[in-house]
Structure 1
Amino acid sequence: MGRVKSTKHVAVIDDSESVLLLIKKMLSCLGYEKVSCFSCPQTALDEINFGRTHYDVVFTNLGMPDIDGMCVIRELGRMNFRGAVCIISDLENRVTELAAEIAKLQWVYLLGSIAKPITLDALEKTLNKLPRPDEMQFAQNSAMSREELIKYLIGGNVVPYYQPKVNPLTKRVESVEVLARIFDPERGVVIMPSCFLATAVQHGLVDLLTTTIAEKTATDMETLSAIFGPDVTVSINLSAQQLGDLSIPNRLDALFKAKNVLRQRITLEITEESALSSPEQLESLNRLRMQGFGVSLDDFGTGFANFRHLRHLPFTEVKVDRSLISKIHTDHFGQAIVRSLADFSLESECKVVAEGVELSEELEYLTSNYPSMLVQGFLICHPKPIEELEAWYVKWAAQCEYSEKVKS
């Protein structure tokens, strides 16, 4: 049976004509017929900038003479490109990963990167990460105004989306991370955090955002238990800056107590945009543990997160950042860090979560070497509203059962 024809328009930028022909042929096999190929990056940028054609996705080679992929990404950011971008590269992994980080700083919606030689499977998996149409419009955008955010908060338009953390050995969902989204009912679109999180931080609305999400999550606990079982836990993001407020542990405690939610089923994922070192931050962290909440060190491998925090602070979970999980099956540096974390977890009973799993090779490596490590990422499940979780879980369980039968 042939593939469904896609209506999305794709631009491919590469200085090699043979690579352009190959990618165009592969895209055709995947159902993408609206493909424009450019061997000259400047011609592609002019085409995109003047708006003669609306492109949903741009694939750009990283290593090109004169105008390289980083220049292309920078220019796409300057022109406020509304589509998604994917990096194509035959350079070493760290160079590609740094280019990806730079892309995010340019306000570009990055799908990921594909290593050369390009395969049909890698191309398909990347395109499968495209947001839904209602999300793409706001996947990357200029920051929301304070007035707009307050309007959405008061109107009850901030909603929790859930992304499962799966035990690869049992195939069970042991936990779900809560991610904030805004639903605009007038336009029928979902607004991503990149549009409103910086505004919340700038205008002191982060606590209100967190409280709103926590309250709706507490209301959803009964449904989450019905889908995943009574032992499933929920993770809510809390910034290191918020821990500086000594009242936050008691406020969260009162919120979940009022909803009859056991504190043992709630984990606070501490995101570190600043050093976790002030007496107030450390007191709040300790009090959360004393009250029975789990505490997770998010994005380990970036920013201020390090082994010193794990050794001296009472974390119950550590989440390995995508930068260390990306292509871990071939990345010896990432393998060494994850191995050290796995050893530490055995000694301290601190769970380890590999986040950002996007390739089947990454999942296979982690499952083979660390079967007790939880995994999370687009390969398993995109963040979803609670209404879509049960259907996903039924499908996921069926796929796992089929895979086991094939293996046996």
Structure 2
Amino acid sequence: MLDELERTLRQGGLRLVYQPKVDAVDGSLVRVEALVRWAHSELGAIPPARFIPLAEEHGLIDDLTQWALRTALRQWREWKAAGLDTSLAVNISAISLEQLDFPDLVERMCRALSVPTDRLVLELTEGATQPLINMMDTLTRFRIKGLGLALDDFGTGYSGLMQLRRLPFSEIKIDRQFITELTTSRDDQVIVRAVIELAHGLDLKVTAEGVETAEQLGILRAMGCDLIQGYLLAHPLEAGDLVAWAIRHKRRWKLLIRPSDEQQGRQRIGA
């Protein structure tokens, strides 16, 4: 599989799909997250959870990261030319941050493709924050250059609140495991509300991922969550489908936030 991954990457056999993130208040499209996909000719779709660690272990992750960044930034230009102005999120590995010049590389990519750095957010998983604490200078340089940093899967790792306070993130993403039973689990409601209040107290934006029902959306809106991501809004889309989705979504948003649903959400969390 390693040989095939290397060959696939070299021959352009990977592709990106994009999942929208919308403003929880007005439903406007704020950002799209680029997600890498590998369709194997014999094994079918191979999930990133299988091939990303393989790339990290065997020295392919830098090539993969640079390909994803370059591809996503080029796609951003196409959307911009089509009249769709949004920001972009790309997942990166902590291993890439071991290169001292990585922030400069990302900035050069943005400049070469005429993408403002403040339109790009780099996402890192919470499990990576322990080694990242030793890379404070590198992360700070990203922020100085105007790039956003999001802490993904918040609540699933063991980084602790100290790392969240010390690392220069601009956003956190609440892991989907806390959203799945949000409508029935009092514990999950308490945790999610506490995370949102904590993040806002630290001047961080909050994205809830894995939102699949209008009732979950209503509760998150009532809690003050900033951004929403999940199948309720859209599955990951091919790049060419995003403009059409954005048009449909504007019409559909009002149906998703019916007043009765939002009021039920407030009642469920005791607001």
The TM-score by the shorter chain falls in which range? 0.7 to 0.9
Q: Deviations over 1:31-81 (max 9, x none)?
A: xxxxxxxxxxxxxxxxxxxxxxxxxxxxxxxxxxxxxxxxxxxxxxxxxxx
The code of the aligned residue for 1:385 comes to E
| Secondary structure at the counterpart of residue 239 of structure 1 | coil
The code of the aligned residue for 1:176 comes to V
What residue in structure 2 maps to residue 47 of structure 1? Answer: none
Q: Aligned partners of 1:403, 1:328: CA distance in 2, in Å?
A: 17
Structure 1 residues 217 and 278, CA, compared in 2 at 3 Å: closer, same or farther? closer
Q: Aligned partners of 2:188, 2:135: CA distance in 1, in Å?
A: 29
Partner residue of 1:383 out of 233, 236, 241: 236
Partner residue of 1:169 out of 3, 6, 25: 25
Q: How far off is 1:251 after superposition? A: 1.4
Q: How far off is 1:212 after superposition? A: 0.3
The code of the aligned residue for 1:162 comes to Y
> CA RMSD for the aligned pairs?
2.5
Larger proportion of helix: 2
Q: What pairs up with 1:244-259 in 2 under 5 angstroms?
A: 244-259=98-113
Q: Which runs of 5+ in 1 are unaligned?
A: 1-144
Structure 1 residues 228 and 406, CA, compared in 2 at 3 Å: closer, same or farther? farther
What residue in structure 2 maps to residue 341 of structure 1? Answer: 195
The code of the aligned residue for 1:332 comes to R
Structure 1 residues 297 and 267, CA, compared in 2 at 3 Å: closer, same or farther? same
Q: Is 1:322 aligned to 2:176, yes or no?
A: yes
Partner residue of 2:163 out of 309, 312, 337: 309
Contact 2:27–2:253 under 8 Å retained in 1:
yes
Contact 1:296–1:318 under 8 Å retained in 2:
yes
Q: How far off is 1:215 after superposition? A: 0.4
Q: How far off is 1:322 after superposition? A: 0.9
The code of the aligned residue for 1:292 comes to G
Q: Aligned partners of 1:275, 1:346: CA distance in 2, in Å?
A: 20
Give the number of equivalent residue pairs.
Answer: 260
Q: What pairs up with 1:5-404 in 2 under 5 angstroms?
A: 145-183=1-39, 191-225=46-80, 229-230=84-85, 232-277=86-131, 280-370=134-224, 372-401=225-254
Contact 2:55–2:61 under 8 Å retained in 1:
yes
Contact 2:214–2:257 under 8 Å retained in 1:
no
Q: Aligned partners of 1:390, 1:282: CA distance in 2, in Å?
A: 37
| Secondary structure at the counterpart of residue 380 of structure 1 | coil
Q: Aligned partners of 1:155, 1:403: CA distance in 2, in Å?
A: 42
- Structure number with greater CO (CA < 8 Å, separation at least 6) is 2
Q: Aligned partners of 1:355, 1:228: CA distance in 2, in Å?
A: 26
Q: Aligned partners of 1:314, 1:274: CA distance in 2, in Å?
A: 14
Q: How far off is 1:349 after superposition? A: 2.5
Aligned identity (percent) is 32
Q: Aligned partners of 1:367, 1:183: CA distance in 2, in Å?
A: 36
Q: Aligned partners of 2:204, 2:127: CA distance in 1, in Å?
A: 22
| Secondary structure at the counterpart of residue 52 of structure 2 | helix
Q: Aligned partners of 1:168, 1:229: CA distance in 2, in Å?
A: 19
Q: Aligned partners of 2:82, 2:186: CA distance in 1, in Å?
A: 38
The code of the aligned residue for 1:217 comes to A
Q: Aligned partners of 2:22, 2:66: CA distance in 1, in Å?
A: 26
Q: How far off is 1:366 after superposition? A: 0.8
Moved more, 317-326 or 372-381: 372-381
The code of the aligned residue for 1:199 comes to L
The code of the aligned residue for 2:69 comes to A
Q: Deviations over 1:317-354 (max 9, x none)?
A: 00001111121122222222222222233333311000
- Larger Rg, first or second structure (1 or 2): 1
Structure 1 residues 405 and 374, CA, compared in 2 at 3 Å: closer, same or farther? closer
The code of the aligned residue for 1:221 comes to W
Q: Aligned partners of 2:157, 2:130: CA distance in 1, in Å?
A: 11
Q: Aligned partners of 1:348, 1:177: CA distance in 2, in Å?
A: 23
Q: How far off is 1:216 after superposition? A: 0.6
Q: How far off is 1:364 after superposition? A: 1.8
Q: How far off is 1:393 after superposition? A: 2.1
Contact 2:126–2:154 under 8 Å retained in 1:
no
TM-score by length of 1: 0.58
Moved more, 247-256 or 192-201: 192-201
Contact 1:286–1:314 under 8 Å retained in 2:
yes
Q: Aligned partners of 1:281, 1:359: CA distance in 2, in Å?
A: 38
TM-score by length of 2: 0.86
Q: Aligned partners of 1:344, 1:360: CA distance in 2, in Å?
A: 24
| Secondary structure at the counterpart of residue 250 of structure 1 | helix
